[in-house]
Chain A
Amino acid sequence: MELERILLKGNQIIGEAAIRSGCKLFFGYPITPSTEVVEYLSAQFPKRGGDMVQAEDEIGAINMCYGAACTGNRVMTASSSPGVSLKQEGISYAAAVELPMVIVNVNRCGPGLGGLGPAQSDYYQSTRGGGHGDYRTIVLAPSKAQELYDFTMDAFDLADKHRNPVILHTDGFLGQTMEPVWLKERPEAPEYDRSWIVDGAKGREKRVLASYSLTNEIGEANNLKWEAKYKHIEETEQRWEEFHTEDAEYLLVSYGTTGRICKSTVLNARKRGIKLGLIRPITLWPFPKKAFAPLIDNLKGIVTVELNTGQMIEDVQLAVQCKKPVYLFRRQGGMLPTEHEILDDLMSKFDLTNEEA
């Protein structure tokens, strides 16, 4: 069968992928630069089946997701940084009840109201749980339109597979850019255990989905259970892309929009005889620690390229156990670096001017 190719804005692609993933429920609140997701679905659901609520606020939206997820049906919400902050209590509850749901964060720059430009300043919030309590959400970081489509579909599958909220961590640059996308159809998702869902106790005992721990003993048992799940996810779901890493002496680590820019930096460096490679994390949690072990001995140094004050750099330092120097190159406040700025910075940090071809 010939694949269909369409041209849409990044945010609309997320909506299209959600529909094609079998998601028929969306609860959200408009916020720039994520708004096209809710707009797209409000136009498409009436024609293609599905229901949505433009909620009274982000808190309402995430709690509607919580209720819908309890019934075992696929559900999504989308927002941007301040809106995602408002959702955090609900995400914590969803993690505690182990609910599959997809939460899209089209990052703005922050803190506060911030601006609309591309940023990665919510890296900590996405990868450290974000809300109260000791929990994790799986975090996927697309870097182009096709990945917005593919990873949205992956997000639903991962959420069902692990019974856990999944965050699609993108930014305004990706959300607002129009790019062509192949509308790949998904193979049928495997049947996941549905013995936990709440849909009316017909012919069975009643079920309760709640997260209150009546005793400390129950509380500890619950936390140990969740910890085991998070460890399993860390072991089995690390994803990343490698670009010219085979013989790399220097390494860039960058995801999302900057991960894409860094590919040009790598190619330019190679033209100058600098053995530069790139690791582009695809899962931000679990962080792809496994990517570093095979490369570490050959490396002279690493630079993380981020759109924040240096957040992912901590995970890279942990991944290489500080055996090699790890530096940061960053732009902030909605500004993007050019591939040349990144290379100039790398060359000055490692005194590489003499290696130019």
Chain B
Amino acid sequence: MCTDMQRIAGRSAGLTDVPFTFCPGCTHGTIMRLIAEILEELEIIDNTIGISPVGCAGFSQDFFNCDFIGAAHGRAQAVGIGVKRSLPDRMVFTYQGDGDIAAIGTQHAIHSAARGENITSIMVNNAIFGMTGGQMAPTTLDGMKTATSPYGKNTGTDGMPIDMPKILATLNGAVYVAAVSVDSPKEIANAKKCIKKAFKVQMAGLGFAFVSVLSTCPTNWGISPVESLSWLRENMMPIYEMGELKVTEEVAKL
């Protein structure tokens, strides 16, 4: 008989009771859960302010159990910097999509990294604009059909996919940059490890930490959830450089 009940699974205290409203097979929920668990494990739920963007990632403000600010499209990092400069002892993270960071708000990502702003940014990259119904993003792959590239993305005129972590890793103020995925249990475990490190970087006051998470969008990709995971592995992972792209000496000691 077991007398000492131990909790081995359950909903993270970092999440509210609001059920996720994402489309079937979307991995936003997985990524949010990882972050929620990290907030709980680091005991910072009540000391953290999250910044939500515009797009599917914007729903994060309803799901996380910490204070949240809704930003204009692309501006989450600028808003987060305003919060952090005002309250330096609070934890601030942005949860943004690839459209938010790699298109309309690119300048804030670049300069957050350049100034070494002590915030944590999570970019969810599904290579498409999800909320508006599947239009081309700067992260859309060569030949990929979307609502605004119905004949397939022509990289000659529409541009090659932007690999945001790679760009940010070149800037000195970005002390930790990682690109991870959540397509398999192994990758999910690794993603959690990296995102946790990105929060610890901020706790230690070391500078700007950025994690890109490859994610699926079965609805707008027009394939099943299972096929989406394979598609991500076969098509996105070879294009986007994966792993820890930048770990400064100080971060390595954490």
A residues contacting B by CB (< 8 A) are 25, 27, 51, 53, 55-57, 59-61, 63-71, 73, 75, 89-90, 93, 97, 198-203, 206-212
Contacts and interface: CB of A to CB of B under 8 A. Distances in A.
A73 B86 contact: yes
Given A206-B66, A208-B61, A210-B52, 18 more contacts: A53-B85, A60-B107, A60-B108, A61-B78, A66-B75, A68-B85, A68-B86, A70-B82, A71-B83, A75-B82, A199-B90, A200-B90, A206-B68, A208-B62, A208-B67, A208-B68, A209-B68, A210-B61
B80 A67 contact: yes
A68 B83 contact: yes
B51, B65, B86, B115: residue with the most chain A Cβ atoms closer than 10 Å: B86
The 3 closest A-B pairs by CB, nearest first: A67-B82, A210-B70, A63-B78
B69 A51 contact: no
A25 B107 contact: no
A201 B69 CA distance: 13
B67 A199 contact: yes
11 contacts: A27-B82, A60-B111, A61-B78, A67-B83, A70-B79, A198-B68, A200-B46, A206-B16, A208-B61, A208-B67, A212-B58
Given A89-B72, A208-B69, A203 B46 contact: yes
B245 interface: no
A173 B107 CA distance: 33
A67 B51 contact: yes
B178 interface: no
Interface string B30-54: 0000000000000001111101100
Contacts of B90: 199-200
B67 A63 contact: no
B254 interface: no
A200 B72 contact: no
B82 A201 contact: no
Contacts of B175: none
Contacts of A27: 82
A68 B49 contact: no
Given A60-B78, A66-B79, A200-B46, A212 B70 contact: yes
B229 interface: no
Main secondary structure of the interface of B (DSSP, over half): helix
Contacts of B84: 67
A56 B110 contact: yes
Interface string B61-100: 1101111111110010011111111110010000000000
B69 A70 contact: yes
B75 A63 contact: yes
A58 to B, nearest CB: 11
Nearest to A210: B70
B13 to A, nearest CB: 12
B79 A208 contact: no
A64 B82 contact: yes
A60 B241 CA distance: 28
A68 B81 CA distance: 8
B118 to A, nearest CB: 12
A61 B71 CA distance: 13
A202 B43 CA distance: 12
B62 to A, nearest CB: 8
B65 to A, nearest CB: 6
Given A203-B46, A207-B67, A211-B70, A56 B107 contact: yes
Contacts of A200: 46-49, 66-67, 87, 90
Contact of A206 (B47, B58, B67, B86): B67
Contacts of A61: 78
Interface string B97-120: 000000000011011000100000
Contact of A90 (B46, B51, B52, B75): B75
A201 B80 CA distance: 16
B61, B66, B79: residue with the most chain A Cβ atoms closer than 10 Å: B79
Contacts of A73: 86-87
Nearest to B108: A60
Contacts of A25: 82, 85-86
A148 to B, nearest CB: 25
A63 B49 contact: no
Contacts of A211: 70
Given A57-B107, A90-B75, A198 B81 contact: no
A64 B82 CA distance: 4
Contact of A51 (B70, B85, B115): B85
A69 B71 CA distance: 13
Contacts of B80: 67
Given A68-B86, A200-B47, A63 B65 contact: no
B167 to A, nearest CB: 15
Contacts of B71: 63, 66-67, 93
Contacts of B16: 206
Contacts of A202: 46-47
Contacts of A199: 49, 67, 87, 90
Nearest to B83: A67
Given A201-B45, A210-B68, A210-B69, A53 B81 contact: yes
A207 to B, nearest CB: 5
A67 B81 CA distance: 7
Nearest to B84: A67
A271 to B, nearest CB: 54
A57 B115 CA distance: 14
Nearest to B87: A71
A71 B75 CA distance: 17
A89 B61 CA distance: 21
A41 B81 CA distance: 18
